[in-house]
Amino acid sequence: MRTRLQEFAAAFVVLLCLVALPAWMFSYPIDRPLEDGRRVVALTGVKRAGVWTDQAVNASNHGFADFRPAVVRVDVGEDIVIRLTSADVTHGFYVPELGVGPVEVEPGHVTEVALHGREEGVFEYYCTQVCGECHYFMRGKVIVGNPPNADEPLPGLQNCPGHGESEHASAVETLAERGEQIFAIQGCSNCHGIEGVGGIENFNAIFAKVPALNGLGKRMMLRERADQEAILELLESGADLEAVEDPPFSRYSSFLAQYEGFRNRIHNGNTAVALDKTKPAPPLSMPRWGDVLDEGEITAILAYLITLQKWEK
Protein backbone atom coordinates (compact mmCIF):
# COMPACT_ATOMS: atom_id res chain seq x y z
CA MET A 1 0.00 0.00 0.00
CA ARG A 2 1.49 3.31 -1.08
CA THR A 3 2.14 5.99 1.50
CA ARG A 4 0.94 9.55 1.11
CA LEU A 5 4.55 10.57 0.45
CA GLN A 6 4.82 8.10 -2.45
CA GLU A 7 1.57 9.40 -3.93
CA PHE A 8 2.85 12.96 -3.66
CA ALA A 9 6.13 11.98 -5.34
CA ALA A 10 4.28 10.27 -8.21
CA ALA A 11 2.06 13.30 -8.75
CA PHE A 12 5.13 15.54 -8.74
CA VAL A 13 6.81 13.42 -11.44
CA VAL A 14 3.69 13.62 -13.65
CA LEU A 15 3.52 17.39 -13.19
CA LEU A 16 7.21 17.71 -13.99
CA CYS A 17 6.72 15.81 -17.24
CA LEU A 18 3.78 17.98 -18.24
CA VAL A 19 5.69 21.20 -17.60
CA ALA A 20 9.31 20.33 -18.26
CA LEU A 21 8.97 18.45 -21.54
CA PRO A 22 7.16 21.25 -23.43
CA ALA A 23 9.61 23.75 -21.92
CA TRP A 24 12.52 21.61 -23.12
CA MET A 25 11.06 21.45 -26.63
CA PHE A 26 10.80 25.23 -26.86
CA SER A 27 14.21 25.85 -25.24
CA TYR A 28 16.17 23.27 -27.28
CA PRO A 29 19.39 24.98 -28.47
CA ILE A 30 18.60 24.67 -32.15
CA ASP A 31 21.28 27.16 -33.15
CA ARG A 32 24.21 25.30 -31.61
CA PRO A 33 27.09 25.02 -34.16
CA LEU A 34 28.23 21.84 -35.84
CA GLU A 35 31.54 20.19 -35.05
CA ASP A 36 32.77 20.67 -38.62
CA GLY A 37 32.39 24.44 -38.28
CA ARG A 38 29.52 24.91 -40.72
CA ARG A 39 27.25 27.81 -39.86
CA VAL A 40 23.81 26.85 -38.61
CA VAL A 41 20.62 28.74 -39.42
CA ALA A 42 17.81 27.77 -37.07
CA LEU A 43 14.23 28.08 -38.32
CA THR A 44 10.99 27.29 -36.53
CA GLY A 45 7.69 26.62 -38.29
CA VAL A 46 4.71 28.41 -36.75
CA LYS A 47 1.27 27.38 -37.98
CA ARG A 48 -0.67 30.33 -36.51
CA ALA A 49 1.51 32.94 -38.22
CA GLY A 50 2.16 30.96 -41.40
CA VAL A 51 5.93 31.46 -41.26
CA TRP A 52 9.28 29.84 -41.01
CA THR A 53 10.92 32.26 -38.59
CA ASP A 54 14.45 32.75 -37.29
CA GLN A 55 13.12 34.40 -34.14
CA ALA A 56 13.02 32.58 -30.83
CA VAL A 57 9.76 30.68 -30.36
CA ASN A 58 8.93 29.47 -26.88
CA ALA A 59 6.02 28.60 -24.64
CA SER A 60 5.59 32.21 -23.54
CA ASN A 61 5.26 33.80 -27.01
CA HIS A 62 4.08 31.05 -29.35
CA GLY A 63 0.39 31.84 -28.99
CA PHE A 64 0.41 35.58 -29.69
CA ALA A 65 3.71 36.99 -31.03
CA ASP A 66 3.95 38.36 -34.58
CA PHE A 67 6.83 36.33 -35.95
CA ARG A 68 8.61 37.58 -39.06
CA PRO A 69 9.35 35.28 -42.01
CA ALA A 70 13.01 34.33 -42.06
CA VAL A 71 15.35 35.55 -44.78
CA VAL A 72 18.24 33.10 -45.07
CA ARG A 73 21.47 34.75 -46.29
CA VAL A 74 24.34 32.69 -47.65
CA ASP A 75 27.64 33.63 -49.28
CA VAL A 76 28.38 32.28 -52.75
CA GLY A 77 30.14 28.97 -52.28
CA GLU A 78 29.25 28.73 -48.60
CA ASP A 79 27.90 25.53 -47.07
CA ILE A 80 25.45 25.91 -44.22
CA VAL A 81 23.05 23.72 -42.29
CA ILE A 82 19.44 24.74 -41.77
CA ARG A 83 18.17 23.32 -38.48
CA LEU A 84 14.38 23.01 -38.58
CA THR A 85 11.88 22.58 -35.78
CA SER A 86 8.11 22.91 -35.52
CA ALA A 87 6.33 24.76 -32.75
CA ASP A 88 3.02 23.01 -33.37
CA VAL A 89 2.20 20.66 -36.26
CA THR A 90 4.04 18.87 -39.07
CA HIS A 91 5.46 21.34 -41.58
CA GLY A 92 7.47 20.89 -44.77
CA PHE A 93 10.56 22.71 -46.03
CA TYR A 94 11.57 22.90 -49.69
CA VAL A 95 14.06 24.99 -51.67
CA PRO A 96 13.77 23.29 -55.07
CA GLU A 97 16.15 25.55 -57.00
CA LEU A 98 18.96 24.73 -54.56
CA GLY A 99 18.12 21.04 -54.28
CA VAL A 100 16.96 21.16 -50.66
CA GLY A 101 14.10 18.88 -49.62
CA PRO A 102 11.25 18.55 -49.49
CA VAL A 103 11.54 17.34 -45.91
CA GLU A 104 8.95 16.86 -43.19
CA VAL A 105 9.48 18.62 -39.87
CA GLU A 106 7.53 17.04 -37.03
CA PRO A 107 6.87 18.71 -33.69
CA GLY A 108 9.26 17.56 -31.01
CA HIS A 109 11.96 16.61 -33.53
CA VAL A 110 14.89 18.43 -35.11
CA THR A 111 15.49 18.09 -38.86
CA GLU A 112 18.72 19.26 -40.46
CA VAL A 113 19.28 19.97 -44.16
CA ALA A 114 22.46 21.04 -45.90
CA LEU A 115 22.39 24.00 -48.27
CA HIS A 116 25.15 25.03 -50.66
CA GLY A 117 25.23 28.59 -52.02
CA ARG A 118 26.18 27.45 -55.48
CA GLU A 119 25.25 30.63 -57.34
CA GLU A 120 24.21 34.19 -56.66
CA GLY A 121 20.49 34.87 -56.64
CA VAL A 122 17.23 34.93 -54.72
CA PHE A 123 15.60 31.53 -54.23
CA GLU A 124 12.27 30.73 -52.61
CA TYR A 125 11.58 28.28 -49.84
CA TYR A 126 8.14 26.76 -49.27
CA CYS A 127 6.19 24.75 -46.74
CA THR A 128 5.05 21.59 -48.51
CA GLN A 129 2.76 20.16 -45.82
CA VAL A 130 -0.72 21.68 -45.60
CA CYS A 131 -0.47 22.82 -41.99
CA GLY A 132 -3.45 25.10 -41.42
CA GLU A 133 -5.23 28.25 -42.59
CA CYS A 134 -1.93 30.07 -43.13
CA HIS A 135 -0.13 27.32 -45.05
CA TYR A 136 -0.10 29.13 -48.39
CA PHE A 137 1.56 32.16 -46.81
CA MET A 138 4.52 30.06 -45.65
CA ARG A 139 7.10 31.17 -48.21
CA GLY A 140 10.33 33.08 -47.92
CA LYS A 141 13.72 33.89 -49.43
CA VAL A 142 17.16 32.35 -49.50
CA ILE A 143 19.56 35.05 -50.69
CA VAL A 144 22.90 33.86 -52.01
CA GLY A 145 25.56 36.55 -52.40
CA ASN A 146 24.45 40.10 -53.17
CA PRO A 147 22.03 39.94 -56.11
CA PRO A 148 20.51 43.27 -57.24
CA ASN A 149 16.96 42.07 -56.45
CA ALA A 150 17.77 40.93 -52.91
CA ASP A 151 15.52 43.48 -51.22
CA GLU A 152 12.55 43.11 -53.56
CA PRO A 153 9.49 41.43 -51.99
CA LEU A 154 8.41 38.07 -53.30
CA PRO A 155 5.63 38.54 -55.88
CA GLY A 156 2.18 38.17 -54.36
CA LEU A 157 3.42 37.30 -50.88
CA GLN A 158 1.40 38.78 -48.02
CA ASN A 159 1.22 38.22 -44.31
CA CYS A 160 -1.42 35.74 -43.24
CA PRO A 161 -4.52 37.52 -41.95
CA GLY A 162 -4.76 34.64 -39.49
CA HIS A 163 -7.86 33.30 -37.87
CA GLY A 164 -11.01 35.30 -37.44
CA GLU A 165 -12.56 34.70 -40.86
CA SER A 166 -16.00 34.96 -39.28
CA GLU A 167 -15.12 38.32 -37.74
CA HIS A 168 -14.89 39.85 -41.20
CA ALA A 169 -17.82 38.06 -42.81
CA SER A 170 -20.42 40.46 -41.40
CA ALA A 171 -18.64 43.46 -42.93
CA VAL A 172 -19.30 42.44 -46.54
CA GLU A 173 -22.39 43.32 -48.54
CA THR A 174 -22.11 41.26 -51.74
CA LEU A 175 -21.24 37.72 -52.70
CA ALA A 176 -18.22 38.95 -54.65
CA GLU A 177 -16.93 40.84 -51.61
CA ARG A 178 -17.27 37.65 -49.60
CA GLY A 179 -15.29 35.86 -52.29
CA GLU A 180 -12.58 38.51 -52.11
CA GLN A 181 -12.23 37.89 -48.38
CA ILE A 182 -11.98 34.13 -48.83
CA PHE A 183 -9.40 34.65 -51.61
CA ALA A 184 -7.30 36.70 -49.16
CA ILE A 185 -7.84 34.53 -46.08
CA GLN A 186 -6.95 31.29 -47.86
CA GLY A 187 -3.77 32.78 -49.36
CA CYS A 188 -4.83 32.45 -53.01
CA SER A 189 -2.98 35.67 -53.87
CA ASN A 190 0.30 34.09 -52.78
CA CYS A 191 0.12 31.91 -55.89
CA HIS A 192 -2.17 33.81 -58.24
CA GLY A 193 -0.99 37.32 -57.34
CA ILE A 194 -2.75 40.31 -55.83
CA GLU A 195 -6.19 40.64 -57.49
CA GLY A 196 -5.37 37.55 -59.55
CA VAL A 197 -2.74 39.19 -61.77
CA GLY A 198 -0.69 35.97 -61.88
CA GLY A 199 3.00 35.90 -62.68
CA ILE A 200 4.19 33.91 -59.65
CA GLU A 201 7.02 31.66 -60.81
CA ASN A 202 6.60 27.92 -60.30
CA PHE A 203 9.97 26.19 -60.54
CA ASN A 204 10.21 23.37 -63.11
CA ALA A 205 6.50 23.49 -64.01
CA ILE A 206 5.33 23.11 -67.62
CA PHE A 207 3.63 26.46 -67.16
CA ALA A 208 6.53 28.45 -65.71
CA LYS A 209 4.23 30.90 -63.95
CA VAL A 210 0.99 30.42 -62.03
CA PRO A 211 -1.81 31.60 -64.36
CA ALA A 212 -3.58 34.92 -63.92
CA LEU A 213 -7.23 34.92 -62.91
CA ASN A 214 -8.15 38.51 -63.71
CA GLY A 215 -9.20 37.54 -67.25
CA LEU A 216 -11.48 34.73 -66.20
CA GLY A 217 -14.59 36.58 -67.37
CA LYS A 218 -13.58 36.50 -71.02
CA ARG A 219 -12.41 32.90 -70.68
CA MET A 220 -15.95 32.15 -69.50
CA MET A 221 -17.28 33.62 -72.74
CA LEU A 222 -18.47 36.90 -71.22
CA ARG A 223 -18.06 39.45 -73.98
CA GLU A 224 -19.11 42.72 -72.37
CA ARG A 225 -19.88 44.40 -69.09
CA ALA A 226 -23.60 43.65 -69.44
CA ASP A 227 -22.84 39.90 -69.56
CA GLN A 228 -20.70 40.20 -66.45
CA GLU A 229 -23.35 42.13 -64.54
CA ALA A 230 -26.08 39.66 -65.54
CA ILE A 231 -24.11 36.68 -64.22
CA LEU A 232 -23.19 38.46 -61.00
CA GLU A 233 -26.86 39.28 -60.45
CA LEU A 234 -27.82 35.63 -60.94
CA LEU A 235 -25.10 34.45 -58.54
CA GLU A 236 -26.05 37.07 -55.96
CA SER A 237 -29.68 35.94 -56.06
CA GLY A 238 -28.68 32.32 -55.44
CA ALA A 239 -30.13 31.17 -58.76
CA ASP A 240 -29.39 27.70 -60.10
CA LEU A 241 -27.44 28.64 -63.24
CA GLU A 242 -28.34 25.38 -64.99
CA ALA A 243 -32.07 26.00 -64.44
CA VAL A 244 -32.22 29.55 -65.85
CA GLU A 245 -35.19 29.61 -68.26
CA ASP A 246 -34.41 32.93 -69.91
CA PRO A 247 -30.64 33.12 -70.51
CA PRO A 248 -29.30 36.70 -70.37
CA PHE A 249 -27.19 36.36 -73.55
CA SER A 250 -26.90 34.06 -76.57
CA ARG A 251 -23.64 32.38 -75.51
CA TYR A 252 -25.05 31.31 -72.14
CA SER A 253 -24.59 27.57 -72.72
CA SER A 254 -20.91 28.14 -73.59
CA PHE A 255 -20.52 30.30 -70.50
CA LEU A 256 -22.12 27.62 -68.34
CA ALA A 257 -19.72 24.95 -69.61
CA GLN A 258 -16.70 27.14 -68.85
CA TYR A 259 -18.08 28.18 -65.47
CA GLU A 260 -18.61 24.58 -64.39
CA GLY A 261 -15.13 23.69 -65.64
CA PHE A 262 -13.52 26.35 -63.47
CA ARG A 263 -15.73 25.39 -60.56
CA ASN A 264 -14.62 21.76 -60.82
CA ARG A 265 -10.98 22.81 -60.99
CA ILE A 266 -11.31 24.76 -57.76
CA HIS A 267 -13.19 21.89 -56.12
CA ASN A 268 -10.88 19.07 -57.26
CA GLY A 269 -7.54 20.84 -57.51
CA ASN A 270 -4.90 20.56 -60.21
CA THR A 271 -1.38 19.19 -59.75
CA ALA A 272 1.38 21.09 -61.55
CA VAL A 273 3.23 18.92 -64.08
CA ALA A 274 7.04 18.92 -64.03
CA LEU A 275 8.77 20.20 -67.15
CA ASP A 276 11.86 18.08 -66.44
CA LYS A 277 11.11 14.81 -64.63
CA THR A 278 14.75 14.54 -63.49
CA LYS A 279 14.55 17.80 -61.51
CA PRO A 280 12.69 18.60 -58.28
CA ALA A 281 8.89 18.72 -58.54
CA PRO A 282 7.15 22.11 -58.88
CA PRO A 283 6.46 23.52 -55.41
CA LEU A 284 3.07 25.06 -56.23
CA SER A 285 -0.03 23.07 -57.14
CA MET A 286 -3.74 23.81 -56.94
CA PRO A 287 -5.10 22.04 -53.83
CA ARG A 288 -8.50 20.36 -53.53
CA TRP A 289 -10.40 23.36 -52.20
CA GLY A 290 -13.51 21.20 -52.04
CA ASP A 291 -11.97 19.67 -48.91
CA VAL A 292 -11.71 23.10 -47.28
CA LEU A 293 -14.50 25.27 -48.69
CA ASP A 294 -18.21 24.62 -49.03
CA GLU A 295 -20.09 25.11 -52.30
CA GLY A 296 -21.29 28.57 -51.30
CA GLU A 297 -17.74 29.72 -50.63
CA ILE A 298 -16.57 28.40 -54.01
CA THR A 299 -19.43 30.30 -55.66
CA ALA A 300 -18.35 33.45 -53.83
CA ILE A 301 -14.77 33.08 -55.08
CA LEU A 302 -16.01 32.63 -58.65
CA ALA A 303 -18.16 35.75 -58.31
CA TYR A 304 -15.12 37.70 -57.11
CA LEU A 305 -12.96 36.41 -59.96
CA ILE A 306 -15.62 37.44 -62.48
CA THR A 307 -15.52 41.00 -61.08
CA LEU A 308 -11.76 41.17 -61.82
CA GLN A 309 -12.46 41.20 -65.55
CA LYS A 310 -11.98 44.77 -66.78
CA TRP A 311 -13.63 46.24 -69.86
CA GLU A 312 -12.56 49.00 -72.18
CA LYS A 313 -14.57 52.17 -71.73
Which pLDDT score, from 0 to 100, does residue 37 have?
77
Same domain, 42 and 74: yes
Residue 86: CATH number of its domain: 2.60.40.420
Cα dihedral sign for 265, 271, 272, 274? negative
Considering the domain boundaries, does residue 96 fall inside one? yes
Which pLDDT score, from 0 to 100, does residue 30 have?
54
**pLDDT tens digits, one per residue of 285-309:** 888 999 989 999 999 999 999 999 9
**pLDDT tens digits, one per residue of 161-214:** 654 444 444 577 899 999 999 998 888 888 888 888 887 889 999 998 898 999
Rounded CA separation 95/98 (Å): 6
DSSP one-letter code for 41: E
SS3 96: helix
Same domain, 230 and 174: yes
**Number of domain units in the chain:** 2
Considering the domain boundaries, does residue 231 fall inside one? yes
Which pLDDT score, from 0 to 100, does residue 167 have?
42
Rounded CA separation 29/206 (Å): 42
The packing angle between helices 295-307 and 225-237, to 10°, is 160
Question: What are the 10-residue block averages of pLDDT along the chain, 313 residues in total?
Answer: 56 49 49 74 89 85 81 93 91 92 90 93 89 82 92 76 47 90 86 85 90 93 95 95 93 96 94 90 89 94 96 81
Give me the domain span that covers residue 46. 30-144
Rounded CA separation 135/94 (Å): 13
Which pLDDT score, from 0 to 100, does residue 59 have?
80
Nearest to 125 by CA among 148, 103, 151: 103
- Kind and range of the H or E run holding 125: strand 121-126
Rounded CA separation 88/60 (Å): 14
Which pLDDT score, from 0 to 100, does residue 275 have?
93
Domain stops at, among 88, 113, 144: 144
